[in-house]
Structure 1
């Protein structure tokens, strides 16, 4: 008898579990950006891992970057999960695109959806080619979900006349009741619980996505402001290290900043291998130009181009120079961010470089640059007998470097401009502790 009761209880429990509807919920409450795309991808992956049936988006946004909004739209269209969006106040611009990519739309009382014209960071409406692209996205997304594509296009195009919906000359924005009347909303709901009731979900089992500390850190690192600061540190560290070779800590700062810049972008699929290699090659070319190749030529020019391109292209979505998804303004802004950051970095390094060298913190990080005789250090003054001696430049003199006289190396300074390594020289004079040389027969 007990076994039968246990069996009945077990079967009832299984039936109860089967009756539950698994729902995975996450939020889009800020500007649409790389961090939003990262969270959306993780939420979809987690929902599939948890065997969820429904993906629920709690949305309140005024829009953001179109390329990332399009990536989110595509992911929602391609997922096998049933998708529901709860517009909890605003679904403007890119938020409208994401909303109509969902199977079901519910709106809070007093909410709105629409106003999807593509605008710049200053709020100015961008040229027609951007609007045309956005209109196409809105149309095809609406069609795929059985919604009126003409209305979706009206969210973008002020010149479109839709009888009984919008007059010509205004971009369309729906209130909750208007969206319901024109079948762009499946119902009004003042809570997520109310959505479940209207969807006929009796026993919802809700798993809410909570961003980890790593998610938050990556989200912060992906913001344009932080990217600009990291570029400042990358270029500033390299510039400072090249100006004061052997310091070490400046190079460490630059390497850490580069890791913090590229790692999140690489994880998000923005920075491809070739873009990182492009940046590294640029740095190598600049080092070769400065230390090994006289003058400033092709390696220096290529180095600058590669460094700027590697940093800028990592900030935008592209498939090896295919920028169909990325807007022209976004690409231009990426290059401007990099160029301005580089100029600012070099300017700050020149202005504050001397003060940094003299600071207490700097002296704690590096070896003291003063070696006193009382501590056992001795410096031998070059002999006057070297005057008139001939040799050759062991390294390039820019104007200082190493010379070789009778197999002995000396530190020397050229008073005859740049002298390449291997060029014959003659000692012109000894001035204080400096060996002054010039080209032989010059």
Structure 2
């Protein structure tokens, strides 16, 4: 009886242990099909630093959730080279497998981002390539930039198993690739060509097929979207918006200085600079110390305007302001260059405004505009020239300046030469500006 009870107890323990181990196997070996997690992240419109910050946040969330896969849905015509490089680093350093799903276009910087993924899927009619770098004006970048970008494309292609020559041919027109491109052309692959040249694994129609191809059809899909603040940061940190903000800011402040009172132009100008700093703060490029630099700069320049000195406050303030603007930008050189260009355009506008409209408002503080006329009892210093040759007597010692009575009128005079005692006969010898010079009659 005791043996029977013991066997029953052992069997019960083994049964419970089997249940416990079975329930914990999924945690030991990863998610099962019932609890797999996929992060679906859209990459759309222009590639800029605001997008880079958004992707860093999305990847961090995926890591924290222990996601099984990250899928980037790409539809972009490109953007900033530096932003694309940052996004590439985010993708390549991810511990979670990343798949690029090219829904429509992955052009220029979009092509580079796609090649950082270990697997590429493309929708019918989509394209990949044409990654020639261009300036903000649309012109082809200089040869050094082309060579650098081609090298990056080649490097990332080699790292992920794509043809490096074709990747470089997406950038360099001078590269010749047999049966792929001639000199003067750029490689731009259709979905079918991408599969042929092993740049894409397969052509898939939609999200369902993407998940099926990755064997994640039963996974929970978490779609990461931009927050309102990230959308704002993406707009403000765009290289096309930053110069406009500077121009509006400087123009608004300049108009305010030339018009009476403080009104809409000044408010718009200050708001433009505020938007610049706030947007870069949200994007993670500017910290509180940068904002302090800007505020200190404005404060010091205000002191220089209100209390004119030797320009020290003005120079320190301007330096602090420019430093704040430069270091708040994702690229200090770009921020500084944009500000200088906006400053030059504003200066040209000020010159034109002064020439055709005159000077008004706050600038009148620095310009003497009142008129003093003889009819109101004022005599210009030029009128003192009539004193030359006239005689008088000192009423105080001249050491060298003092007072003298000349033809019954008291004048502030200066001795030309030696000191002159009080009650000494003098004669006016010359007048310079407002100064009347006299000489002792005893020595004449």
Say which of 158, 165, 169 aligns to 1:154. Answer: 169
Measured against aligned partners, the alpha-carbon deviations of 1:176-200 in whole angstroms (never above 9, x if no partner) come to 1221122211111111211222222
Aligned to 1:68: 83
Say which of 145, 150, 172 aligns to 1:135. Answer: 150
Does the 8 Å CA contact 1:23/1:53 hold for their aligned counterparts?
yes
Say which of 184, 201, 207 aligns to 2:199. Answer: 184
Matches within 5 A, 1:3-402: 18-19=32-33, 20-224=35-239, 226-228=241-243, 230-232=245-247, 234-236=249-251, 238-239=253-254, 247=262, 254-271=269-286, 276=291, 279-294=294-309, 300=314, 303-304=317-318, 307-308=321-322, 310-311=324-325, 314-318=328-332, 334-335=338-339, 338-339=342-343, 342-343=346-347, 399=368
Going from structure 1 to structure 2, the CA distance change for 1:440 and 1:277 (only over 3 Å counts) comes to farther
Does the 8 Å CA contact 1:86/1:105 hold for their aligned counterparts?
yes
- Once the two structures are overlaid, the 10-residue window that deviates more, 48-57 or 22-31, is 48-57
User: Separation in 2 of the partners of 1:58 and 1:283?
Assistant: 44
User: Separation in 2 of the partners of 1:35 and 1:340?
Assistant: 28
Going from structure 1 to structure 2, the CA distance change for 1:102 and 1:315 (only over 3 Å counts) comes to same
User: Separation in 1 of the partners of 2:226 and 2:349?
Assistant: 33
- Once the two structures are overlaid, the 10-residue window that deviates more, 26-35 or 100-109, is 26-35
Going from structure 1 to structure 2, the CA distance change for 1:154 and 1:187 (only over 3 Å counts) comes to same
Aligned to 1:383: none
Going from structure 1 to structure 2, the CA distance change for 1:333 and 1:190 (only over 3 Å counts) comes to farther
TM-superposed deviation, 1:214: 2.5
Measured against aligned partners, the alpha-carbon deviations of 1:374-398 in whole angstroms (never above 9, x if no partner) come to xxxxxxxxxxxxxxxxxxxxxx986
User: Separation in 2 of the partners of 1:91 and 1:353?
Assistant: 53
Going from structure 1 to structure 2, the CA distance change for 1:41 and 1:187 (only over 3 Å counts) comes to same
Report SS of the residue matched to 2:117.
Answer: coil
User: Separation in 1 of the partners of 2:24 and 2:351?
Assistant: 70
Going from structure 1 to structure 2, the CA distance change for 1:272 and 1:140 (only over 3 Å counts) comes to farther
Going from structure 1 to structure 2, the CA distance change for 1:286 and 1:90 (only over 3 Å counts) comes to same
Report SS of the residue matched to 1:18.
Answer: coil
TM-superposed deviation, 1:349: 8.9
TM-superposed deviation, 1:259: 2.7
Larger radius of gyration: 2
What's the Cα RMSD here?
A: 4.4
Measured against aligned partners, the alpha-carbon deviations of 1:58-91 in whole angstroms (never above 9, x if no partner) come to 1111111111111111111111111111111211
Does the 8 Å CA contact 1:311/1:338 hold for their aligned counterparts?
no
User: Separation in 2 of the partners of 1:290 and 1:218?
Assistant: 33
Report SS of the residue matched to 1:167.
Answer: coil
Going from structure 1 to structure 2, the CA distance change for 1:348 and 1:71 (only over 3 Å counts) comes to farther
Aligned to 1:376: none
TM-superposed deviation, 1:21: 2.2
TM-superposed deviation, 1:92: 0.9
Measured against aligned partners, the alpha-carbon deviations of 1:104-156 in whole angstroms (never above 9, x if no partner) come to 10111222111111112343211101101101211221122122222211111
Alignment TM-score, normalising by the size of structure 2: 0.66
TM-superposed deviation, 1:14: 9.4
TM-superposed deviation, 1:243: 5.8
Report SS of the residue matched to 2:212.
Answer: helix
- Once the two structures are overlaid, the 10-residue window that deviates more, 140-149 or 105-114, is 140-149
Report SS of the residue matched to 1:89.
Answer: strand
TM-superposed deviation, 1:290: 2.6
User: Separation in 1 of the partners of 2:298 and 2:180?
Assistant: 57
Report SS of the residue matched to 1:109.
Answer: coil
Does the 8 Å CA contact 1:279/1:311 hold for their aligned counterparts?
yes
TM-superposed deviation, 1:265: 0.8
